[in-house]
């Protein structure tokens, strides 16, 4: 995993705007593509951000990454700087350290911010509202497995049964890959589900890494004392694989309807 930074603020802002434009365009589906059951403005967070939602199997998922700066009860989520690293204090970050990236990519959050004091869970449903708006919850690893099973078992996604990551990934914005069925290969064939996973990378040890390469998502499952279970979708991979992440990592969040 490589360190990603740009030294000059003006260049960073320009690059952030370019990324936003590319990623937002990648989530618009052409009429000729497989039908996607989408609900526009399905939920609004405390800050007033609205999120579309998509039906996949019997689940209703947010179709974009969470970007709230407050919990549903109005409690602020502290903004973390590059030196704010903790597995017990909640922090939020902007992908790449660039605030302009938030519109398209959402925010990155550490475990404490995501859970908001809730106990870990691998139930379905998880029972953890955590950082999500009212009526929605942070998905467990079990619920993520249900998502990937829905893709694997559904005839309309048959072509993608060996490329679950490709079925979930946005149609552009990924690094290119020569691996057949990988997310970064022939990207216009991505995202038959409408999930539109964005390669927002992650935050760790003061560094922002893997923008354009990976989308990382928190689940509510605790894998060890100082580790939580995440899910990773990579440009050169075909799955949506389970990944053990230190609790101080900043990852993306997708909420699931109760």
110 falls within a domain:
yes
In this structure, the number of other CB atoms found within 10 A of the CB of residue 210 comes to 23
The residue-averaged pLDDT of 209-223 equals: 97
pLDDT band at 17 (very low <50, low <70, confident <90, very high): very low
186 falls within a domain:
yes
Expressed as residue numbers, the domain containing 66 is 9-257
4 falls within a domain:
no
The residue-averaged pLDDT of 36-49 equals: 97
115 falls within a domain:
yes
Number of domains in the chain: 1
Residue 78 pLDDT greater than 80, yes or no: yes
What pLDDT, on the 0 to 100 scale, is given for residue 236? 97
46 falls within a domain:
yes
The residue-averaged pLDDT of 16-25 equals: 46
The residue-averaged pLDDT of 168-178 equals: 97
What pLDDT, on the 0 to 100 scale, is given for residue 100? 97
206 falls within a domain:
yes
The model's pTM: 0.88
Residue 15 pLDDT greater than 60, yes or no: no
Q: What contacts 242, CB < 8 A, 6 or more positions away?
A: 141, 144, 229, 230, 231, 232
2 falls within a domain:
no
What pLDDT, on the 0 to 100 scale, is given for residue 19? 45
């Amino acid at each position: 995993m490589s360190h990603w930074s740009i030294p000059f603020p003006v260049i960073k802002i320009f690059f952030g705007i370019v990324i936003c434009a590319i990623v937002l365009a990648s989530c618009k589906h052409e009429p000729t593509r497989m039908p996607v059951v989408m609900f526009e403005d399905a939920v609004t967070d405390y800050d007033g951000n609205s999120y579309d939602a998509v039906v996949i199997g019997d689940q209703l998922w947010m179709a974009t990454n969470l970007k709230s700066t407050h919990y549903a009860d109005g409690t602020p989520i502290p903004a973390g700087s590059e030196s704010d690293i903790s597995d017990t204090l909640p922090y939020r970050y902007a992908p790449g350290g660039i605030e302009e990236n938030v519109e398209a990519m959402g925010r990155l959050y550490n475990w404490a911010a995501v859970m908001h004091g809730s106990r870990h869970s691998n139930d379905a449903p998880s029972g953890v509202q955590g950082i999500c708006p009212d009526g929605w919850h942070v998905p467990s690893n079990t619920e993520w497995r249900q998502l990937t099973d829905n893709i694997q078992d559904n005839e309309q996604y048959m072509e993608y049964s060996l490329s679950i990551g490709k079925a979930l990934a946005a149609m552009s914005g990924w690094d290119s890959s020569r691996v057949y069925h990988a997310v970064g290969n022939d990207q216009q064939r991505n995202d038959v589900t409408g999930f539109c996973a964005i390669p927002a990378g992650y935050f760790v040890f003061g560094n922002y890494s893997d923008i354009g390469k990976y989308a990382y998502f928190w689940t509510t499952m605790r894998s060890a004392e100082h580790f939580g279970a995440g899910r990773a979708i990579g440009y050169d991979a075909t799955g949506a694989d389970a990944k053990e992440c230190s609790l101080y990592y900043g990852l993306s969040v997708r909420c699931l309807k109760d």
